[in-house]
């Protein structure tokens, strides 16, 4: 009876051991399958297009100086009227033109003032053109010297540079994202082909930021729009 119990226990142990071995083989095979399935390649796809700007902001800053404050304001007003008339004459609608308040400095009232300055008062003012007609505005820019010949002194700085805007990004986004994704897939397909693999489905994808810049410093009214998509694909043999 005791020998029979020992034999039964041995048989049970053998069966358990065989089962564990078999389970290990199955799990090992599954692990290999999963590992094989999770082979991936990550690629980037670029889409880059050029578009004309659709809004221009053109600040025209000018200055005047005088020892008489009232005369200085008269000079600034006269210059403003000349600029406004010049713009309208050259096809810029009055509604596209705005005028800022003049900024006047009394040099004698400044602690760092120059007692030998030729003029006590100096002032600046800005006429700004905000337009969707880029071509018309750029044409007028080339004629601004005509006003300089009339005695208007133009000034400016970094904050008064002409600005060109592109506001139709939402219109072009879908097509550009599609192109970037298509380009990424082509790169991944070539990689899979070179590595004797097959390209599978997308595991994950991310869209980079859209970047808008001037095409070059001489053509700021032409915008270069760029986006890069990053896509990870599964690979299989």
Same domain, 158 and 194: no
Same domain, 94 and 182: no
Residue 160 in domain: yes
- CATH at residue 73: 3.30.70.2970
Cα–Cα distances in angstroms (integers) from residue 225 to residues 53, 83, 133, 154, 172, in the given order = 11, 34, 20, 33, 9
Reported pTM: 0.76
Cβ atoms of residues 58 and 188 within 8 Å: no
| Residue corresponding to tokens 């029979």 | 4
Residue 29 in domain: no
Same domain, 235 and 212: yes
Selection from 41, 60, 29, 233 nearest residue 131 by Cα: 60
N residues, the chain: 237
One digit per residue, the tens of pLDDT, for the chain of length 237 reads: 555 555 454 544 554 444 444 444 444 444 444 445 578 999 999 999 999 999 999 999 999 999 999 999 999 999 999 999 999 999 999 999 999 999 999 988 766 655 667 889 999 999 999 999 999 999 999 999 999 999 999 997 777 899 999 999 999 999 999 999 999 999 999 999 999 999 999 999 998 999 999 999 999 999 999 999 999 999 988
What pLDDT digit, counting tens, does each position of 173-204 carry? 999 999 999 999 999 999 999 999 999 999 99
What proportion of the chain, given as a percentage, has pLDDT over 70?
81
| Residue corresponding to tokens 């986004």 | 173
Last residue of a domain, one of 165, 184, 219: 165
Same domain, 84 and 155: yes
Residue 18 in domain: no
Cβ atoms of residues 72 and 104 within 8 Å: yes
Which structural domain, as residue segments, surrounds residue 70?
55-165
């Amino acid at each position: 009876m005791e020998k029979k119990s020992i034999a039964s226990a041995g048989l049970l142990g053998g069966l358990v051991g065989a089962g564990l071995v078999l389970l290990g083989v199955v799990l090992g095979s599954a692990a290999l399958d999963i590992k094989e399935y999770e082979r991936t390649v990550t690629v980037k796809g670029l889409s880059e297009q050029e578009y004309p700007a659709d809004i221009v902001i053109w600040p025209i800053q000018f200055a005047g100086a005088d020892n008489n404050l009232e005369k200085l304001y008269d000079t600034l007003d006269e210059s403003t009227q000349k600029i406004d008339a010049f713009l309208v004459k050259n096809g810029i609608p009055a509604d596209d033109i705005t005028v800022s308040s003049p900024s006047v400095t009394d040099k004698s009232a400044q602690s760092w003032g120059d007692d030998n300055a030729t003029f006590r008062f100096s002032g600046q003012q800005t006429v700004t053109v905000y337009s969707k007609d880029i071509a018309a505005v750029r044409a007028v820019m080339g004629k601004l010297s005509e006003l300089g010949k009339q005695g208007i002194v133009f000034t400016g700085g970094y904050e008064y540079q002409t600005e060109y805007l592109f506001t139709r990004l939402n219109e072009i986004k879908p097509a550009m994202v599609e192109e970037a994704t298509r380009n990424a897939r082509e790169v991944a397909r070539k990689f899979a082909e070179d590595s004797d693999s097959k390209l599978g489905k997308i595991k994950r994808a991310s869209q980079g930021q859209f970047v808008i810049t001037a095409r070059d410093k001489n053509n700021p009214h032409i915008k270069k729009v760029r986006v890069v998509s990053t896509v990870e694909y599964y690979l299989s043999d």
